Structure 1
Amino acid sequence: MVVVVTGASGQLGQSLQFIAPNYPEITFHFYNSSELNITDLEKCKTIFSKTKPDFCINTAAYTAVDKAESEPEKAYSINVTGAENLAKVCKEFDTVLLHISTDFVFDGNVSKPYTEEDIQNPTGVYGQTKLDGEKAIQKLWEKHFIIRTSWVYSQFGNNFMKTMLRLGSERDSLSVVNDQVGTPTNAVDLAEAIVTIALTYNLQPTNDNLGIFNFSNEGQCSWYDFAKKIFEIHKIKIDLQPIPTSSYPTPAKRPNYSVLDKGKIKNIFGLKISNWEESLKEQSE
């Protein structure tokens, strides 16, 4: 079983590299953005004709949520044109595409976890380009899994956990918003879920199970709760204050509530999903 992974230097790409040795039955080919620029269709074709992958895991994305507001063309190029290119090449080589999307496709104006069928209504450029990327894939190639996730962190790359640890070592006090609620997702847990989907489909290729899936860890919290737990686990003493979003304006609006319902992915793939607090603790040990 041959798997091509795009965006290998990002945190999910690195998390997949971290778990890859546990799967000797899979031949992974990892490519960072300079080795495989997904906005270049010919480059995608060259790599695919060389590797002949059964699966392509697309972790490449433009994820700078605020910067996207001032760089819409760049965000579109990677999140839409890039996704489109991979769908075209996957169709040409009969490769199953596993594409990572986001809770930002929703506006967050609800109070119960989002299912895969809920109406999307992005509030910013990043969310809109990720939604447009999903639609491009759906239109071009039926053999796809689109996995929406949220609040991804890990020991790799740049993320909220690493920012908090850095600020915790530099400051005595910190304010973090407490009125945006979601679920932190350990990138290694997400990587394991993606590989499980690929292995399950490879063993029993039924097109009934293709489509959109939600994945995050279990439970929910605010960014303030998340920060508090990070400092608690790492035994960092800091004066942490909760503040409303209105006190911390950003160029892009964040969803107020973006907890994802994981019923579908658990039922179809039999996944056991850890609570976010347990996973954060394990990650930090």
Structure 2
Amino acid sequence: MFFSSMVITNDITLITFVPLTMMFLKCIGSRRVIFIIVMETIAANLGSIVTPMGNPHNIFLYSYYDMSLETFLSTIIPFAVFSFILIVITVLLLKDYKIDASITYTDKRPDKLKTAKYVILFIISILAVINVIDYVVCLLLVLIVLLLTDRSVFRKVDYSLLLTFVFFFIFSANIGSIEEINHYIVQTIEGRELATSILLSQVISNVPTAVMLAPFTSNGIGLLVGTNLGGLGTPIASLASLISYRLYTTLRRNEKIDYLKTFFVLNISFLLILIVFATIIM
């Protein structure tokens, strides 16, 4: 999770691996499903901070402030290394327990043509993320291929989650355009970019926070660190966290409260430790 999110973003990493993890843990009868899914979410959110392409707001800030790759990496790498150590320590603190390793499965071979199709579409999507292919071309190509070959996938899309993303961006854009709020933001954020971006991310998510605050400060480094650390905390802080939550609770509707309890304990703990680390090194 930590390393794959550097390349394919935290969102795609969680969409890909959380269902596989849940399937595997169900097979072995694991009692720590919630803990593992939450830790995977934390790992994806923290691993994705390492590269400009790992997070949408990283791409935006990297471009908006015209950062050099050296500046970006020298700012983020210390947090990435420290985060990885925290994740490893947290996992190692767990006590071992016996699992049922007697897994039964059916020898059902995957459809090679279908697999190849989705791999190609996935690669095209990644190329659109890194601006090799225009996103409009990518969108049209994916829609056409799916409409012609596999229309059933459109019934499986979580449209409510997509609308949540859209409304977050609309909300943040409208808030930033109100003159009174605009003036207040300038006064509030100056010299407090790190704290402001972390706190605001808890409410409107870190990607809209980056887009909303960037025009009001020249301190791109503070905003970069703040929005990346701000991805921890509430489920809203990173939209990737909402993806994990929806994937888990769709299959286990009666465990929403248990999931959120574990999520808040681990996320807040990681966030507070990283804030202390940030105040020491910045």
Of structures 1 and 2, the larger Rg is shown by: 2
TM-score range, shorter chain: under 0.3
Instruction: Kindly indicate which of the two structures has a greater share of residues assigned to strand.
Output: 1
**Structure whose residues are more often helix by fraction:** 2
**TM-score, normalised relative to structure 1:** 0.27
TM-score by length of 2: 0.28
